[in-house]
């Protein structure tokens, strides 16, 4: 819009479903089609920025925002909303388990994994939060307005809100959180999320204004939402200054639960915050979350009733859990990707004692990718619950996703794989070590078998706890490492976070100037067609450069006992404030 109010009319007099535009759609399918009926050349996607004010925001407006952010997985979710179960009596205790060795860091500035922000979302708040209809509603913001040029967002904050330590919440806390995220001395992992935000201002104790350098349709989802972006997940200054590093284990927020106990690697205890600003929530008095990383132990604890809820179902035990009549399985498409990352760092010798690895050669990396039978992997390791991946953009980001199964340089072709290995001097194969975790050990074993059969590559598994795996990945202490991304609602999550040379998760040493240039362009354009073009070009380059072997896009699953009621399954989230135990 270049700072000017958009006056572009919608094109044509009849919409895609044959209704005049002044008539309301009668079905959800018509509603979606109606929302998509706008001039594709309009860089504003047919949006009126005034429509984004919180008291006017509509589902039609949100559907257009999903186009802007690539969050098309929301559309399938709207067609298939989660089942709502009858609520039980308020009060009581939920015993839950996360398949994670420990919650190493719950400070939103440093949370770099989905399992951590699943817990933090129950403790901390943001200006907005996605509700059951997948619309960002006011969280600590009661309402907001957007200027006609889309460059100023003014938020009116809730009054009477208190932090868990009794401090009142005001505009000062928003400004403090904003400045803390930007402070290089703090080192927030999510500083880049605020790129394009020129300044944040306190207008009075309960009003803040953000000024952007360019319009950003994804602002409510990517920047202010309390879980996904984490750049403006509101923190408490006094608690941070008094608690120091302890804040990473027991953050103080304004959310429905407060942390009353945290035994690292054992359990985390959440207690109902009686002054929570949403009336009637949380419904539970207490939640005890146990750390149980070993898959069989996790499932056995759920089956025996020792815990009533698990945050994820181990791949190898899915059939067992699904077949248990005492349990409920809830599943939705996971907006993310899984891959085998290669160590491409120049300082490998200092890290792992080897100056060179076979996969330093692009021909070898492509050979590994071509030897990977993804269908076989998904069938044997995931029981068919996944989609083959040839790039980081998941099908959930439908506007940006392209089917590369027949064109990608990484598509399965064992003959080409063996030819490339021979050309690179590894015709007899080679041996390599790959880091996996206990929950993904079975996946690693299947990968090793596939590569041995098709390319005579011997993969020796190093099984470590997840925090150790993350530390090894961050420090470059690996040859190969199988890991992935979750909660990728936008290309900025799946591309910008991982594959730009200065990405926060690019610790494996990949760099391509063309990718950097395209990534900078796709983040700043307001033209959706250009963004789609540039994102897809990045994916094609990544498929060819093969800094990793893209494996699959998976499923997001939880399981719980039948006496657990009221859980609403939103992809990647585990909010428990609506839950009761009957």
Q: 459 vs 80, 275, 452, 482, 493, CA distance in Å? A: 40, 54, 8, 12, 29
What is the average pLDDT value for the chain, to the nearest integer?
86
Confidence of residue 51 (pLDDT cuts 50, 70, 90): low
Confidence of residue 345 (pLDDT cuts 50, 70, 90): very high
How far apart are the C-alpha atoms of 34 and 30, rounded to whole Å?
6
State the pairing for strand pair 327-333/555-561.
antiparallel
E strand or H helix at 387, and its extent?
strand 387-388
E strand or H helix at 549, and its extent?
strand 548-553
pLDDT value at residue 14: 27
pLDDT in tens, 422-439: 999 999 999 999 999 988
pLDDT value at residue 219: 84
Q: Identify the weakest region by mean pLDDT among 450-464, 479-493, 530-544.
A: 479-493
pLDDT in tens, 356-375: 999 999 999 999 999 999 99
Q: Which residue has the higher pLDDT, 316 or 457?
A: 457
Got the DSSP string for 233-297? ----HHHHHHHGGGGGTS---SSSEEEEEEETTTEEEEEE-TT-SSTT----SEEEEEE--SHHH
Residue 317 above 60 pLDDT?
Answer: yes
pLDDT value at residue 530: 87
How far apart are the C-alpha atoms of 382 and 275, rounded to whole Å?
43
* Cβ atoms of 338 and 549 closer than 8 Å: no
Q: 90 vs 87, 162, 581, CA distance in Å? A: 8, 22, 8
The tokens of 483 are what? 């890991």
What value does the mean pLDDT take over residues 205-234? 88
pLDDT value at residue 15: 29
Q: Identify the weakest region by mean pLDDT among 260-269, 362-371, 471-480, 566-575.
A: 566-575
Residue 420 above 90 pLDDT?
Answer: yes
Residue 216 above 90 pLDDT?
Answer: no
How far apart are the C-alpha atoms of 235 and 173, rounded to whole Å?
7
Residue 11 above 70 pLDDT?
Answer: no
Whole-prediction pTM? 0.75
pLDDT value at residue 42: 55
Q: Identify the weakest region by mean pLDDT among 97-101, 314-318, 460-464.
A: 314-318
Residue 227 above 70 pLDDT?
Answer: yes
Q: Which residue has the higher pLDDT, 123 or 70?
A: 123
pLDDT in tens, 510-539: 999 999 999 988 876 767 788 899 999 999
- Cis upstream peptide for 282 (omega within 30°): yes
Strand arrangement, sheet containing 141-146: 141-146, 152-157, 207-212, 197-204
3-state secondary structure (DSSP) of residue 461: strand
pLDDT value at residue 285: 97
pLDDT in tens, 78-122: 444 444 445 667 889 999 999 988 998 999 999 988 889 899 999
3-state secondary structure (DSSP) of residue 315: helix
How far apart are the C-alpha atoms of 223 and 144, rounded to whole Å?
14
Q: 42 vs 8, 115, 343, 530, CA distance in Å? A: 7, 38, 43, 12
Q: Identify the weakest region by mean pLDDT among 209-218, 387-396, 562-571.
A: 209-218
Q: Token match 């998760």: residue?
A: 505
How far apart are the C-alpha atoms of 400 and 528, rounded to whole Å?
10
pLDDT value at residue 9: 26
What value does the mean pLDDT take over residues 471-481? 95
pLDDT value at residue 215: 77
Task: State the first-to-last Cα distance of the chain, in angstroms, to the nearest integer.
Answer: 53
pLDDT in tens, 328-340: 999 887 878 999 9
How far apart are the C-alpha atoms of 537 and 461, rounded to whole Å?
33
Residue 35 above 80 pLDDT?
Answer: no
Percent of the chain with pLDDT over 70: 84
For 29, phi then psi, to 5°, come to: -60, -45
Q: Identify the weakest region by mean pLDDT among 191-200, 230-239, 372-381.
A: 191-200
């Amino acid at each position: 819009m270049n700072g000017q109010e958009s006056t572009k009319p919608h094109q044509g007099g009849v919409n895609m479903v044959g209704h005049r535009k002044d008539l309301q759609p009668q079905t959800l399918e018509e509603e979606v089609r109606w929302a998509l009926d706008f001039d594709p050349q309009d860089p504003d996607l047919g949006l009126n920025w005034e429509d984004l004010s919180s008291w006017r925001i509509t589902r039609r407006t949100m559907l257009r925002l999903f186009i802007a952010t690539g969050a098309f997985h929301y559309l399938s979710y709207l067609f298939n909303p989660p089942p709502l179960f009858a609520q039980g009596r308020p009060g009581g205790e939920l015993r839950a388990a996360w398949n994670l060795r420990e919650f190493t860091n719950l400070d939103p500035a440093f949370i770099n994994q989905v399992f951590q922000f699943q817990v933090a979302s129950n403790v901390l708040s943001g200006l907005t939060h996605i509700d059951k209809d997948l619309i960002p509603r006011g969280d600590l913001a009661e309402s907001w307005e957007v200027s006609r040029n889309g460059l100023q967002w003014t938020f009116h904050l809730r009054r009477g809100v208190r932090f868990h330590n009794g401090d009142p919440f005001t505009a000062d806390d928003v400004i403090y959180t904003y400045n803390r995220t930007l402070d290089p001395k703090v080192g927030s992992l999510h500083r880049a999320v605020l790129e394009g935000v020129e300044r944040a201002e306190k207008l009075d104790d309960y009003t803040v204004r953000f000024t952007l350098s360019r319009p950003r349709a994804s602002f409510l989802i990517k920047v202010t939402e309390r879980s996904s972006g984490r750049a403006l997940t509101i923190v408490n200054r006094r608690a941070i200054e008094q608690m120091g590093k302890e804040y990473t284990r027991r953050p103080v927020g304004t959310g429905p639960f407060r942390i009353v106990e945290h035994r690292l690697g054992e359990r985390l205890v959440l207690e109902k915050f009686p002054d929570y600003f949403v009336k009637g929530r949380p419904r539970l008095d207490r939640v005890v979350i146990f750390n149980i990383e070993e898959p069989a132990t996790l499932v056995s604890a759920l089956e025996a009733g020792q815990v009533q809820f698990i945050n994820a179902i181990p791949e190898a035990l899915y059939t067992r859990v699904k077949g248990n009549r005492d349990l409920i399985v809830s599943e939705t498409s996971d907006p993310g990707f899984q891959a085998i990352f290669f160590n491409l760092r120049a300082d490998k010798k200092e890290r792992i004692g080897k100056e060179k690895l076979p996969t330093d050669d692009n021909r070898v990396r492509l050979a590994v990718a071509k030897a990977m039978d993804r269908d076989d992997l998904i069938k044997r390791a995931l029981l068919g619950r996944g989609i083959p991946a040839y790039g980081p953009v998941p099908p959930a980001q439908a506007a940006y996703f392209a089917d590369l199964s027949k064109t990608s340089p990484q598509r399965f072709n064992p003959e080409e794989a063996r030819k490339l290995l021979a050309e690179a001097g590894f015709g007899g194969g080679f041996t390599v070590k790959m880091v996996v975790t206990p929950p993904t050990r079975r996946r690693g074993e299947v990968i090793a078998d596939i590569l041995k059969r098709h390319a005579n590559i011997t993969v020796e598994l190093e099984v470590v706890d997840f925090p150790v795996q993350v530390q090894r990945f961050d420090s470059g202490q690996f040859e190969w490492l199988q890991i992935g991304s979750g909660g990728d609602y936008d290309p900025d999550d799946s591309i910008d976070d991982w594959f730009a040379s200065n990405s926060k998760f690019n610790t494996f040493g990949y760099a391509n100037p063309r990718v950097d240039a395209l990534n900078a362009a796709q983040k700043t354009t307001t033209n959706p067609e250009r963004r789609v073009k540039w994102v897809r070009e990045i994916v094609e380059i990544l498929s060819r450069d093969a800094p990793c072997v893209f494996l699959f896009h998976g499923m997001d699953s939880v399981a719980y006992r039948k006496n657990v009621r009221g859980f609403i399954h939103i992809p990647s989230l585990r909010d428990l404030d609506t839950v009761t135990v009957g």
